[in-house]
Structure 1
Amino acid sequence: MAAPNEITVPQLLRLIGTPQAPVIVDLSIDPDFDADPFLIPGAFRHPHTDVAGLKARLAGRACVLVCQRGIKLSQGMAAWLRNDGIAAEYLAGGMYAWRDHAGAPRIPAKALPEPVDGSTLWVTRHRPKIDRIACPWLIRRFVDPQARFLYVSPSEVAGVADRYGATPFDVEGVFWSHRGALCTFDTMLDEFALRSEALDILSRVVRGADTNRHDLMPEAAGLLAISVGLSRQFRNDHDQLEADMVLYDALYRWARDGQGEGHDWPAGQKA
């Protein structure tokens, strides 16, 4: 019988990438992590010896604890946090179970930019439409839920990146940008090892809208239209990003498990 504070790999996999995803905390000790330096999407590392610090970071949010095997470190921390009123679960089988599960993505730790004041900091051109919204959505849902984004004048992206330690993206001449026919969203999927059937479908919609290739996916034209409309509703780029998060959440769920659903006039009735 499963423990009441246990979550399985398939159960957690269904939550990752959605607004309902819990905070994921990797408690692996350094030697174990160094031998296999990968993270579950959205996870951050924290030492098991710092319970007070972890509680402060969680701020009461529900969480899943992960260690190498899902035994003493994660089970002990889950029990401690639950005793203190925090909804905590441990991942059954730990990182070994996640690693061995087909289709469970693992982010190479080396792919993550160095954090600035506790989370990653990114900078790009202001007045975003497609890629500069899709990429922040991907980062917040799969890489770093606390990531921050700076939207600045195109001519100032490099300078802001240099002065504030931010990582530039979706501008010419930087690592996180278009590569050939692929857009920045594709680059992030590849570098973060996040390719999946659903994200591949979403990437074609994003690429088609971002590069005016509506032949790639018929939904690309719709994404462009909605994105242009949203950009004209908001003067504040961060308000637009928050509004667009709902749009990309919906597109992801459609790509993951909603493509088979159509809509037409009910059978037996005339228009």
Structure 2
Amino acid sequence: MPALTTTVPHLLRLIGTPEAPVLLDVRAEDDRAIDPRLLPASRCRDHATVAEWAPNYAGRAVVVACQHGMRISEGVAAALCQAGASATVLEGGFQAWDDAGGPLVRPDHMPPRDTWGRTLWVTQAEPKIDRVACPWLIRRFVDPEAVFLFLAPAEVEQVARRFGATPFDIEGVFWGHRGRDCTFDTMLDEFGLESETLERMADIVRRAGSGSFDEVPEAAGLLAASLGFSRMYRDDLSQLDAAISLYDAFYRWSRDVVRAVPAWPALQPPA
């Protein structure tokens, strides 16, 4: 019996949201060598060793993609289902996703992963705008298992060297501000994430960080909410976990609601 499939339009609606499934790229090495870009938030897995790693996904929703969504991904999906996962095949595979203009991640500057396969990032404490927006972007589009450390500014570079962490949103590092662009802009550019929705969010993040609200009033709302979150939590990691939902909301607004006209109830004149 053929494996169940997930269509590209359906997956496009899930990517970037908390409802996104685990996405596994099981393309053959030859195909990956031709186009090394990655499906967003995906992990590359060797289909030949699926019996070894399939149990790690028991109980999870998984979408499997090979180059064209055929034999390799169907075999992997079947093995995952046998191991207790709810696995489907991306219809048309990587090629169909690319043809539809789905966002893809360039691996050129992908940070190294730790023993558990996670990327490790470090920045200064008391996150506000960029230092929450960037972790949101990484977890939703690059590495869902990414780990973030928040430290005193003087400790960031030393910890980065000692623990193999990637510093971001501090002065003088690769993943930082460039001219008028904020770190969120830098990440979109370096990861090659081309999306009208993400570009709209970048404009809001950039203006919220610089205090320029005239043309993008939503930036003032993001700043106000970010400052509120910073007063609600003394622990930076707890604040990050809570504030991620704020960026989920801005993503949905930027994707689905930005052109909608609110149907405010008509005001009745006083009696």
TM class by shorter chain equals over 0.9
1:82-110 deviation digits (Å, cap 9, x = unpaired): 23432101111111111222x31111122
- Map of 1:188-267 to 2, 5 A cutoff? 188-263=187-262, 265-267=264-266
**What aligned pairs does 1:1-271 form with structure 2 within 5 A after superposition?**
5-101=4-100, 103-117=101-115, 118-263=117-262, 265-267=264-266, 269-270=268-269
TM-score, normalised by the number of residues in structure 1 = 0.94
1:55 offset after TM fit, Å?
A: 2.4
Distance of 1:245 and 1:259 partners within structure 2? 20
CA contact under 8 A between 1:185 and 1:206: conserved in structure 2? yes
CA drift at 1:139: 0.3
Distance, in Å, in 2 between the alignment partners of 1:59 and 1:110 is 31
**TM-score, with structure 2 as normaliser:** 0.94
How far apart are residue 200 of structure 1 and its match?
A: 1.0
Provide the C-alpha distance between the structure 1 equivalents of 2:52 and 2:144, rounded to a whole number of angstroms: 18
Distance 1:265 1:196 in 2: 30
Paired AA for residue 205 in structure 1: I
Distance 1:130 1:268 in 2: 36
SS at match of 1:90: strand
Tell me the amino acid that sits aligned with residue 196 of structure 1: S
Evaluate the alpha carbon distance shift between residue 104 and residue 264 of structure 1 in structure 2; reply closer, same or farther with a 3 A threshold. Answer: closer
Specify the SS of the correspondent of 2:89: strand
> Deviations for 1:211-251, whole angstroms, at most 9, x for unmatched residues?
11122410111111110111011111010001111110000
Deviation at 1:81, TM superposition (A): 2.0
Cα gap change, 1:210 to 1:57, in 2 (>3 Å): farther
Superposition CA RMSD, Å: 1.6
How far apart are the structure 1 equivalents of 2:264 and 2:107?
50
Distance 1:203 1:261 in 2: 20
Quick one: structure 1 residues 107 and 99, their matched pair in 2 at CA, closer, same or farther if it must change by over 3 Å? same
Give the Cα–Cα distance (whole angstroms) in 1 for the partners of residues 174 and 260 of structure 2: 38
Deviation at 1:32, TM superposition (A): 1.8
132-141 or 62-71, larger mean C-alpha shift:
62-71
Unaligned 5+ residue runs, structure 2? Answer: none
Structure 1: runs of 5 or more not aligned = none
User: Does the aligned pair in 1 maintain the 2:54–2:79 contact within 8 Å?
Assistant: no
Q: Is the 8 A contact 1:67 1:95 kept in 2?
A: yes
Equivalenced residue count is 268
Structure 2 Cα separation of the partners of residues 146 and 94 of structure 1: 23
Question: Larger deviation: 5-14 or 142-151?
Answer: 5-14
Measured after TM superposition, the shift of residue 270 of structure 1 is 4.0
Shift of 1:30: 1.7
Deviations 1:151-176 (A, max 9, x none): 00101111011000000000111100
Deviations 1:22-79 (A, max 9, x none): 0000111222211211101000101112224432432421000011111111011112
Q: In 2, are the aligned partners of 1:122 and 1:169 still within 8 Å (CA)?
A: yes
